[in-house]
Structure 1
Amino acid sequence: MKSRLIIAPLLTLLAACGGGGGGNDNPVVAASVFAGNDQQIIEKSEFTIEAKGSPADGTFTWQRVSGPIIDGFPLDGALQTVTAPDIKADSELLLRVSYQTTDGQLVSDDLLIKIESNNQLPQVIITQTAPATLPSDYKDIITLSAAGSIDPDENGQINSYNWQQIAGPTLAVDSSSNATISFVHPLLDANTLITWLVTVVDDEGGESSSEYSHTLNKTSEVIIANAGTDQNVIELETVTLDATASETVTETFKCFWQQTAGTAVLDNQQQCITSFTAPATEAINTHTFEVTVTDSKGRTDKDSVDIVVNSKPLGLINDTGMNKCYNNTQEIACSSPDFPRQDASVGRDSGVGSHIEKVGKGEQAFDFTKLNQFADELLDSAANFSCIRDNVTGLIWEVKSPNTGTLPNTQLREGQNHYTWYLNSEDGVQPESELGTANSTCSNNGNCNLQEYVNEVNALDYCGGTNWRVPTYTELLTLLNYGKHGQSILLDENYFPNTPNSNLLADGLIYWTSQTAVDGTSLSQAYIFDMSNGNDLAYPKSNTAFVRLVRTAGAAQ
């Protein structure tokens, strides 16, 4: 790459005086410089550059114009010995020489130096760093490392690693692209040679590979049966037995299950994964299963698992009434592992027909018996009844009388009557109770509040009892059947008829509980339930709501 700059001589024509003529005895000579021919060299090698200039006796200055950084520049003098820089890829170095003559002329020329990268390939070095004590044995974590591999280049480094197993049984490594790999010593029936091909790449793309071999010792056991971990389950649940975690030297194995304690029936004894339905029980029972694992060479091992079956925690409280299972958007099978232990698959509702025998009748696990005015039992087909006994909780509930008139021209126990929250306790009137107004929202000549109504029903010795009261939060909740969600009322209307019109009160089909809602600032609200949707709410005691009285069977009359 050459460009010479030449300054043309300045010619001055002089006219001689007196008619004579003459010439310049010292004409100006044009300056020039030549940087030499372009060169091709190898990184870190020495090379010589030499410039020639005319006229002689001028001064030379070398400068770096572009390309990799090179030490020592600028340099003065026509002849220079330079060491090529250490580079990562082929590069071009552009040098420029400037020449100044003694009479002040300045010219320059460029020299292109093509520098070839001379990358030294990396060296692969592999060592076994774990376990600390060799030889390794079954279940030892074996770690191999290529982190000691080096790049001979002065400023080079290893950029990547790749491990590939090329001999021996396939091993599951944590990562094939790290400087180190780790794996578990497997079951082996003979000492086995394992060979790895390790490839490293340096920061200039240089690549080297090396094989590394080591021996894994045979193990004392060649087959290990694994029946899985012990389980605690609830009766009637589906239980899964899984022996796939068993280990054998051979690639395949088969399983055979036998029950050594208990009475469960397996779906399939010859599958490594099988299941059974936990038997119904009134106590805690343990079922023991033994699996025999056989490899493809006929060698066997056995292991056992205990399944503890517990009776359903039915308790003395009603279930929710839900008989379907759902995910976030739609109905699903209750056996779905993604949304386990939903209401429809656990509790009392899931045991109806298979474990729970009812005293009376009712939807799902609800168990009701109709009673007459003396608390005598009636047939479930009875059309006229006064009270309902909940056979799960033991509570007796008021059944409302048919609606006959328009408020306040109604009967005492009509469902459409509604009341303010006013109740007595052993210490007198409860805080923030509201008296209500007489002959307003009920048939009472007295004030329309809860205590007035409780007193009047008890005075009737209604259904053979004088211990009628407003239900607690939990007691009222036990009547709600959430499986009826979307219907107009969440009660079984076969047992709780004469429900008031849901539009009668602005806030819906709301019923009082006996419990004050304590919010830390006031006692002016009590809990209600909306029987049309099951929602609860802290509600002002000065407002009115419906009520369904309850009493405890067998308590003081």
Structure 2
Amino acid sequence: MKAFALIPLISCGLLSACGGGGGDSDNTVVETSVNAGIDLQIIEKTEFTITAQGSPADGTFSWQQVSGPSLEGFPLDGAEQTLTAPDVKTDSEIILRVSYQSTGSSAVSDDISISVSSNNQLPLAVVTQTSPETLPSVYKDTVNLSALESIDPDDNGQIDSYLWQLLSGPDLDITSFNESTLSFSHPLLESNVNLSWQLTVTDDEGGEASTQYSMTLNKTNELVDANAGADQNIEEFEQVTLDATNSETVTDTYQCKWQQLTGNTETLSNSNQCTTTFFASDVDTETTLSFEVTVTDSKGRTDTDSLFVDVSPKALGLINDSGVGECYNNTQRINCESDDFPEQDAELGRDSYANRLDKVGKGNLAFDYTKLNQFADEVGDDSSDFTCIRDNVTGLVWEVKTESSGVLPNTSLREGQNHYFWDLGDTTFTDTSTANSTCPDDTSCGVQSYINEVNSLDFCGGTNWRLPTYNELLGLIDYGKQGQRVLIDESLFPYIPQSGDIENVDLPYWTSQTAADGTSLSQAYIIDMSNGNDLAYPKENTAYVRLVRSR
């Protein structure tokens, strides 16, 4: 492409100013032009020369790059330039512009196009085995193959992607075939096996190269590998799963058989399956169970493996639960697994494990009571001859009342219908006029008189009988009996008086705790055995008494 500029020049003719007298003038126009040369096609990283021509010959040349991959050194001055094509990833075009200016003229310019072809050098695929350190590998070794020594010979090239292919060999458990490294576990093999791999690498210009790599995996002496799974730590009553499905054999099928070696005997759901379950039994201390699985392949070859299950007591506490074994919505009984009414009493605490608790005696749900005779010796759960009850959860021993024999005050000492006012500790209630009123005592129908008389008898093997605390007495309440006459097990605690014998409250029983009702301290808590409610009750009023002692 050529550019021109027109320059007017004035010559002297016959003008008088030039020494002539004629009237004609002579104007000559001189062209300024530049030519950047023909367009070029070159290969990346090769030298090439560009030469510009300008007219008239007394001008100067200046080069600049307009577009395309960068060339070094611009801007440049001079008609001829020798340059090196840049390293390009794809075919590219460079536009250069030359400007030319002669004396007394404006600059003119011309462009030249340089087409640069990419000349990608293909990468080199290289495979190395980096582990295990000791070769050849054996069963369960982790085998690592690496392609990191693969290279791209281009100066600024790099490997962009990797593809591994297993051309021949056994099935392997491989997470990814598209990483720079490939890992797998040496499998269980009946004979030596050759593996053939193909690695294909692709560089950042799309060039591909492949290589093949062969290796040998050695056979295993033992052709059955039993795997009982990892040791476990669980709490009592939890479901335990024993899983031997990670066992390996060289045959397609195998069978499993579980057996318990040590610990409390547990009932497995199916000991002849590779996966079996059981619910851990009730334990009082940390207990270890051990199990063994025998794996047999289809050719009769066997192997065994074992595991330990550490069982801890569940933190259920040393207090009784509520006795509620069913769940409810606002109107009716529902499945305890309902998400709309979660975490009800029946699915929490001791009662939720009642069917799996290892009881000493008997009782509803998680309640656990043992009958004792007058010497505090245990008697059978079905015995009708017992004098007190031991709570096997709390360890407390409770008084059992005697059958009603007459009308107050013509009753015996421990009849259930006797009732007393509260006069424990520093109290103003010392009224002896109550003797033989609501109880058969000749001194006073105060609680302390009753406690003293029972202790003097060495009743049921103890002399430390007392009023129960609020929480101790509340622990006898079985809220699962709502709607019945009393919320306590009458087969274990018989001879409960009839409701209504005491004014205003159905079945009030004293606790040892004074109610914080200001400064008078004139009330103590009672528990109403008919409904489980508590009440701050005037100490001068009378209520029933059920004594308790620690063993």
TM-score by length of 2: 0.64
Which deviations, in whole Å up to 9, do the C-alpha atoms of 1:5-58 show, x marking residues without a partner?
433344779995698422236x23131212123223221112221222222232
Match status 1:492 vs 2:502:
no
Which deviations, in whole Å up to 9, do the C-alpha atoms of 1:379-414 show, x marking residues without a partner?
99x9xxx99874643343799xxxxxxxxxxx9979
What residue is the counterpart of 1:69 in the other structure? 70
Against the structure 1 CA distance between its residues 458 and 196, is the aligned structure 2 distance closer, same or farther, given a 3 Å change threshold? same
What residue is the counterpart of 1:508 in the other structure? none
- Post-superposition shift, 1:144? 1.2
Alignment of 1:230-379 (within 5 A): 240-256=241-257, 267-268=269-270, 270-275=272-277, 289-295=292-298, 298-303=299-304, 305=306, 317-319=319-321, 321=323, 323=325, 329=339, 343=350, 346=353, 349-351=354-356, 356=359, 358-359=361-362, 361-365=363-367, 367=369
Conserved? CA contact 2:360–2:368, under 8 Å: no
Q: Which runs of 5+ in 2 are unaligned?
A: 327-334, 374-378, 402-416, 431-444, 505-509, 517-524, 530-542
What residue is the counterpart of 1:469 in the other structure? 467
Against the structure 1 CA distance between its residues 181 and 244, is the aligned structure 2 distance closer, same or farther, given a 3 Å change threshold? same
Which deviations, in whole Å up to 9, do the C-alpha atoms of 1:145-180 show, x marking residues without a partner?
111111101111223323232321122235433322
What residue is the counterpart of 2:507 in the other structure? none
Conserved? CA contact 2:228–2:307, under 8 Å: no
Against the structure 1 CA distance between its residues 531 and 206, is the aligned structure 2 distance closer, same or farther, given a 3 Å change threshold? farther
Match status 1:84 vs 2:85:
yes
- Post-superposition shift, 1:322? 6.2
What residue is the counterpart of 2:121 in the other structure? 120
Secondary structure of the residue aligned to 2:5 is: coil
Against the structure 1 CA distance between its residues 233 and 35, is the aligned structure 2 distance closer, same or farther, given a 3 Å change threshold? closer
Letter in 2 for 1:184: S
Against the structure 1 CA distance between its residues 492 and 74, is the aligned structure 2 distance closer, same or farther, given a 3 Å change threshold? same
What residue is the counterpart of 2:538 in the other structure? none
Match status 1:110 vs 2:120:
no
Letter in 1 for 2:225: I
Which deviations, in whole Å up to 9, do the C-alpha atoms of 1:399-456 show, x marking residues without a partner?
9xxxxxxxxxxx9979xx9x9xx996xxxx8xxxxx9999xxxxxxxxxxxxx98647
Letter in 1 for 2:302: D
Match status 1:552 vs 2:513:
no
Return the alpha-carbon distance in structure 2 between the equivalents of residues 292 and 328 of structure 1: 41
**Which piece of structure 1 moves more, 300-309 or 121-130?**
300-309
Conserved? CA contact 1:471–1:550, under 8 Å: no
Secondary structure of the residue aligned to 1:350 is: helix
Letter in 1 for 2:129: Q
Return the alpha-carbon distance in structure 1 between the equivalents of residues 512 and 178 of structure 2: 67
Alignment of 1:418-429 (within 5 A): none
Against the structure 1 CA distance between its residues 389 and 301, is the aligned structure 2 distance closer, same or farther, given a 3 Å change threshold? closer
Against the structure 1 CA distance between its residues 59 and 249, is the aligned structure 2 distance closer, same or farther, given a 3 Å change threshold? same
Return the alpha-carbon distance in structure 1 between the equivalents of residues 418 and 82 of structure 2: 121
Letter in 1 for 2:178: S
Secondary structure of the residue aligned to 2:172 is: coil
Which deviations, in whole Å up to 9, do the C-alpha atoms of 1:211-243 show, x marking residues without a partner?
211111112122222344567888887654432
Return the alpha-carbon distance in structure 2 between the equivalents of residues 499 and 36 of structure 1: 123
Return the alpha-carbon distance in structure 1 between the equivalents of residues 303 and 4 of structure 2: 100
Letter in 2 for 1:64: Q
Against the structure 1 CA distance between its residues 98 and 357, is the aligned structure 2 distance closer, same or farther, given a 3 Å change threshold? same
- Post-superposition shift, 1:310? 7.9
Match status 1:97 vs 2:98:
yes
Conserved? CA contact 1:129–1:144, under 8 Å: yes
What residue is the counterpart of 2:223 in the other structure? 222
Secondary structure of the residue aligned to 2:214 is: strand
Conserved? CA contact 1:397–1:548, under 8 Å: no
Conserved? CA contact 1:472–1:515, under 8 Å: no
Conserved? CA contact 1:175–1:181, under 8 Å: yes
Against the structure 1 CA distance between its residues 33 and 40, is the aligned structure 2 distance closer, same or farther, given a 3 Å change threshold? same
- Post-superposition shift, 1:304? 5.1
Letter in 2 for 1:173: I
What residue is the counterpart of 1:7 in the other structure? 5
Return the alpha-carbon distance in structure 1 between the equivalents of residues 253 and 349 of structure 2: 37
Return the alpha-carbon distance in structure 2 between the equivalents of residues 530 and 29 of structure 1: 127
Return the alpha-carbon distance in structure 2 between the equivalents of residues 548 and 266 of structure 1: 50
Conserved? CA contact 1:88–1:204, under 8 Å: yes
Conserved? CA contact 1:398–1:548, under 8 Å: no
Against the structure 1 CA distance between its residues 165 and 312, is the aligned structure 2 distance closer, same or farther, given a 3 Å change threshold? same
What residue is the counterpart of 2:533 in the other structure? none
Letter in 1 for 2:58: D
Secondary structure of the residue aligned to 2:355 is: helix
- Post-superposition shift, 1:88? 2.3
Letter in 2 for 1:209: S
- Post-superposition shift, 1:269? 5.1
Identity of aligned residues (%): 42
What residue is the counterpart of 2:59 in the other structure? 58
Q: Which runs of 5+ in 1 are unaligned?
A: 334-338, 372-376, 400-410, 430-434, 439-451, 505-510, 518-527, 533-546
Return the alpha-carbon distance in structure 2 between the equivalents of residues 203 and 170 of structure 1: 32
Against the structure 1 CA distance between its residues 316 and 219, is the aligned structure 2 distance closer, same or farther, given a 3 Å change threshold? same
Return the alpha-carbon distance in structure 2 between the equivalents of residues 530 and 151 of structure 1: 88
Return the alpha-carbon distance in structure 2 between the equivalents of residues 342 and 178 of structure 1: 52
Letter in 2 for 1:293: T
Secondary structure of the residue aligned to 1:70 is: coil
Which deviations, in whole Å up to 9, do the C-alpha atoms of 1:325-355 show, x marking residues without a partner?
967936899xxxxx9x975564xx1336xx5
Against the structure 1 CA distance between its residues 108 and 239, is the aligned structure 2 distance closer, same or farther, given a 3 Å change threshold? closer
Return the alpha-carbon distance in structure 1 between the equivalents of residues 544 and 53 of structure 2: 118
Conserved? CA contact 2:467–2:548, under 8 Å: no
Alignment of 1:495-514 (within 5 A): none
- Post-superposition shift, 1:127? 0.7
Which deviations, in whole Å up to 9, do the C-alpha atoms of 1:165-224 show, x marking residues without a partner?
232112223543332222221111111111222222222333322221111111212222
Letter in 2 for 1:552: V
Return the alpha-carbon distance in structure 1 between the equivalents of residues 70 and 514 of structure 2: 86
Return the alpha-carbon distance in structure 2 between the equivalents of residues 55 and 436 of structure 1: 136
Which deviations, in whole Å up to 9, do the C-alpha atoms of 1:250-274 show, x marking residues without a partner?
3432335567899776554543223
- Post-superposition shift, 1:85? 0.7
- Post-superposition shift, 1:364? 4.6
Conserved? CA contact 2:474–2:527, under 8 Å: no
